[in-house]
Structure 1
Amino acid sequence: MPSPARASGDDGGAAGPGALGAVEVLPGRVRAALLSGAGVVRERADAVFDPAAGAGAVDAALAEVAGLLAAGAPLGVGVAAAGVVDPGAGLVVEVNEAPALRGYPVARRLEALVGAPVRVEHRARVQVLGDRWFGPGRGRRSFASVSTGEVLGVGILYAGEVLAPPGGRSGAHMTVSASGRRCTCGRRGCWKTVATTRWLRERARALGLGGDVTLGALVAAPGEEAARLVGEYAENLVLGLATVQQLFACGLFVLHGEAREGGERFRALVEERLRADVLGGGEPVRVVVSEAAVDDVALLGAAGLVLSGR
């Protein structure tokens, strides 16, 4: 079996006593890391599998990265998984793009390989725990953590608990336009149809701004056309965020992913439009952009899942 891709943190040290194990399970890929109790990633491992294969392919990928985790003797392992999950049973219920993960007992498999307790949660929801323990949400009992870019989703901490009802999803498929475009789920007008990188590129192409642009490039581009598109993108993102705020009064929204490319200008646009769209009362809504590296967001959330369970 080939060795997994493996790297040490910048300081080169092992995680040491009190280490936290973190795993991200994606269609065709498994990422693992050992983190310190302060949320510093010390070592990483990476393995791939055929998402169209059987469960044995996932078993092999987990086995490749489990050595790193077992060697660190972590307090526990948190799993941030794509798709629909059953945290109580420790299962990945279904991932549309990866039949190999359907009904996969990831917690049981990892516990046998690592010898530590394992907890599982949806990757978009669990990232709020990364922000709670290691990021801008420290000290708060209610706030929202938002994935932006190719993937869209919201994790909500409410009164100190992650909102994670059985069968619940990340919000990408909430309807924001009854007569909107057809979504990959088959319904119309889902939030993800107007507030992801795919929409941004398609809209930029239609406006003659190029079909492979980034949010950062559009923010920096001269001319009113690019500025209007950035504003429209911010408004589309707020369509979902305003609903979340109205329902749960989060107060704070931590943006991850593509929003980071937009810098202060995009952050301010989102905050301005969100404040204009929600009813008054409670604390003023704030929007911040996380400084965490994109590749670390889910891993930090998984590590936070371990701490939250102790």
Structure 2
Amino acid sequence: MSSGERPALRLAPAPAPGPAETVLGAVELLPGRVRAALLDLTGAVRWRAEAAYPAGTSDRGEIDAALAAAVRFPATPAGVGVAAAGLVDASAGVIIEVNEVPALHGYPIVPVLAGLVGAAVHVEHRARLQVLGDRWFGPGRGRSAFASVSTGEVLGVGLLHDGEVLAPPGGRSGAHMTVAASGRRCTCGARGCWKTVATTPWLRGEAHRRGLRGQTVRELAAAGDPLLDEYAANIALGLVNIQQLFAPGLFVLHGEAADGGERFRARIEQRLREDSSWATGARPPEVVVHPGPADDVALLGGAGLVLSRH
């Protein structure tokens, strides 16, 4: 076991699923962390575990070890859905690249996990899987079109359009769409990407620059600081582009957006409606905050991917 890895942790209070129960496997692979879970057909988490690895590692063995530690499932799932950061080739079952983790460049996640769990494995980008979680278990049930939005340290959008998840080869989550041609340098090397102004690092940095005591969405909301309105407008920048292109109508927010309360949600919705008021033939876009635990979003998406493939 490498020094950067910790053993899988049993965290679920519910008993492990019995042998006759159908369970769905889900894995979330992020820089420095692997999370795994078994969920039942209602989306309830029945078992979960986690393992860590050095976030900037170039050693694939450390990724292998973390995955092996996390997916010691107590029951064999009907399938496993993997939510991965970075650029993913879903048909080949490979993570093409993750800017922050050299070891994940070209990583064959599907065959590696299939060998560990003995079940069919499917992989997609985290943001795209999120929309499946909302479709099967959340506010998107019964809808043919909506957008699912990650907020916080990770930014991305998954789209359901005409009943299908939009997942073209080479497509990404929208975090690197340009919103300011001469903006800040992004981790991808480009300038002005949406993520440079609409993620937690921007909020922390701006709060520090202004000398504010509070630096989180929750703290700024409690203080009623206008910086939170600015942050909401930055998030809305990318959503406006998506509304103009695809008109999903409903935007389901996940992550730290829940910490901002009603004012934060309403500010994003207001900006979105202001910038799409020309669309007279469509209903005004609606923004809702997902009511479930933020940490389970990608896991629900992984379970939704299994259901969508079976």
1:143 deviates by 0.5
User: How far apart, CA to CA, are the structure 1 residues paired with 2:251 and 2:97?
Assistant: 28
Q: Which of 144, 150, 153 is the equivalent residue of 2:153?
A: 150
Q: How does 1:270-285 map to 2 (within 5 A)?
A: 270-278=268-276, 279-280=278-279, 281-285=281-285
Correspondence list, 1:1-310, <5 A: 1=1, 4-14=7-17, 17-50=21-54, 51-68=56-73, 71-210=74-213, 213-222=215-224, 226=225, 228-278=226-276, 279-280=278-279, 281-310=281-310
One-letter amino acid of the structure 2 residue matched with residue 220 of structure 1: A
Secondary structure of 2:134's aligned partner: helix
- For the aligned residues, what is the CA RMSD? 1.7
Distance in 2, matches of 1:205 and 1:180, equals 19
Deviation string, structure 1 residues 240-270 (Cα, Å, up to 9, x no partner): 0000011111000000111000011111111
Amino acid at match of 1:251: G
Shift of 1:22: 0.2
Partner SS for 1:72: coil
* Conserved 8 A contact 1:6-1:43: no
Q: Which runs of 5+ in 1 are unaligned?
A: none
CA drift at 1:82: 1.0
Percent of aligned pairs sharing the same letter: 63
Amino acid at match of 1:136: P
SS in 2 for 1:107: helix
| CA drift at 1:13 | 4.4
Distance in structure 2 (CA, Å) of the matches to 1:13 and 1:291: 25
Q: Is the 8 A contact 1:126 1:155 kept in 2?
A: yes
Contact map agreement 1:267 1:288 (CA 8 A) in 2: yes
SS of the equivalent of 1:125 reads helix
In the TM superposition, residue 28 of structure 1 has moved relative to its aligned partner by 2.5
Give the conservation status (yes or no) of the 8 Å contact 1:78–1:119: yes
**Distance in 2 between residues matched to 1:189 and 1:65, nearest whole Å:** 36
**Cα distance in structure 1, aligned partners of 2:197 and 2:11:** 38
How many angstroms apart in 2 are the aligned matches of 1:46 and 1:204? Answer: 32
Q: Is the 8 A contact 1:34 1:41 kept in 2?
A: yes
Q: What is the one-letter code of the residue matched to 1:85?
A: V
> Partner amino acid for 1:245?
Q
Output the TM-score relative to the length of structure 2: 0.93
TM-score by length of 1: 0.93
What is the deviation of 1:3?
7.5
Distance of 2:72 and 2:234 partners within structure 1: 43
* Number of residue pairs matched by the alignment: 303
Q: Which runs of 4+ in 1 moved over 3 A?
A: none
Aligned partners of 1:77 and 1:302 also within 8 Å: yes
Rounded to whole Å, the distance in 1 between the matches of 2:304 and 2:67 is 20
Q: How far 1:284 sits from its partner (Å)?
A: 2.2
Q: Deviations over 1:175-233 (max 9, x none)?
A: 111122222222221111111111112222232313x51111111115xxx1x212111
CA contact (8 A) 2:9 2:51 kept: no
Partner Cα distance (1:119, 1:106) in 2: 9
Q: Quick one: distance in 2 between partners of 1:47 and 1:202?
A: 29
CA distance in 2, matches of 1:3, 1:196: 28
Provide structure 2 residue ranges, at least 5 long, that are not aligned to the other structure: none
Which AA in structure 1 matches 2:169?
P
In 2, Cα distance between the equivalents of 1:61 and 1:183? Answer: 28
> 1:8: Cα distance to partner?
4.7
Amino acid at match of 1:308: S
